[in-house]
Amino acid sequence: MENRNTMSDKLPGTHSNPGVLYENEVREPRRYRVLLHNDDYTTMEFVVHVLRSVFRKTEPEAMRIMLAVHQEGLGVCGEYTAEVAESKVETVHSIAKTAGYPLKASMEEVL
């Protein structure tokens, strides 16, 4: 009997069972955007401070994101794995609470 395996049957990551994850396949982790939300109390200077210290943004990047938060109600701070995004959201809330600001951060999955 003749073996009819094709070249793609032998290549890693190419299988005839779609939807089945094999042990040797690696998937990229899901990514999440961290967002800052506008409020009527947090100062622009504090938002810039948070963006520079928590998200390691340059002064121009921090200013651009802060203005988006102020003018559009929402600013994207970056994209991270779930664990990193959760940590950054918690850090923002902790720093804001300590400073007496109600600054809110959230995360959303990047689709």
**95, 54 Cβ separation under 8 angstroms:** yes
User: pLDDT band at 15, cuts 50/70/90?
Assistant: low
Nearest to 93 by CA among 36, 33, 41: 36
User: Quick one: tokens of 27?
Assistant: 């998937």
The C-alpha atoms of residue 92 and residue 86 are separated, in whole angstroms, by 10
User: pLDDT band at 3, cuts 50/70/90?
Assistant: low
Whether the per-residue pLDDT at 69 is higher than 60: the answer is yes
pTM, two decimals, is: 0.76
**35, 89 Cβ separation under 8 angstroms:** no
**52, 62 Cβ separation under 8 angstroms:** yes
